[in-house]
Structures are given as structure tokens and as C-alpha cells.
Amino acid sequence: MASAGLRRAALAILGPAQLPAVEHLQEVGLKIARLYPGFDGESHFEDIEVDFIPGPGIEHHAAIQGLDGVRIRRTPAGAVWDFHRADSRKYMIILGGQVEIGVGDGTKRTFGAGDVLIVEDTTGQGHTTRVVGDEDRICIDIKLGI
């Protein structure tokens, strides 16, 4: 369960309706394997546990420094957004869970682990998003240049 300090911060940022999502996301971390050169001249592995911190709305972002133009996001199962525009042009790589994206003509498509999208609708009506199934959606966004 989230610490009392995290709970208070989450309440202040997200409001009480979103707090269960915060507690759930804090329990489920992300592991990254680091491959690095050691002082001994050999390569080594290090396992890194990544925490998620509150982002906008109910999303959470990985607390990793040095990710300029790259964002790792976790969105709770069942999350729904009405029409909205992308915050930037980007590649979105789905690592886990499934997301249904809808467009203005009524078309809806579902994407899951391993799928890659180029998201460019930074103007206009935008798209809808719904995390389907009972798994959180985990994705990596890679911001594209202009």
C-alpha cells in the first residue's frame, strides 16, 4: 500500500475518486535491466525497480531521470478519456495491457503489447482512449521532431 505521504500527495493532485488507482500502481512496479561497463573492463547487469509518480489525470509516469523526449506511462485498467488531442507527435509502443482508440468517424481499434502507433493528432477533434481488459496499459512514448 502507498505510504501516508504518497497518499496525501495523491489526494491533493488527483482527488479521492482516483486514489485506488494510485495505490494499485504503487504496488506494481516496472523492472528495467541495465547493461553497463564496469571498472573491471567487463560488462555487468543491474536490475532497476522503477516507481511510478502521478502524472496528469489518472496516468502515472515512470520516475526515471534523463529521459529527454521519452516517457514511460502506466494507465489503470478501465480508464476512459473522451475526445482529446495528443500532447505531441510521438511513437507509442505498447508494452502491456490493451487500449482501444476511437476516431471521429466511429472507427475503434484495439492495440496491445508489441503494437506501435504513430500518434499525430495534435490538432482537431482528437481521439478517444479506453484501457480495456483487467490489465493496466503500459506504454513508452517517444516524442517526434517537428
The CA-based angle 86-127-106, given to 5 degrees, is 165
Q: What is the pLDDT of residues 74-125, one digit of tens each?
A: 899 999 999 999 988 999 999 999 999 999 999 999 999 999 999 999 999 9
Question: Global pTM?
Answer: 0.67
Q: What is the pLDDT of residues 6-43, one digit of tens each?
A: 444 434 444 444 434 444 444 456 777 778 788 998 88
What is the DSSP secondary structure assignment for residue 145, as one 8-state letter? P
For the chain, domains (ranges, CATH) are 4-143 (2.60.120.10)
- Please list, in sequence order, all residues whose beta carbon lies within 8 angstroms of the beta carbon of residue 138, skipping any fewer than 6 positions away: 30, 72, 73, 74, 75, 94, 95, 96, 97
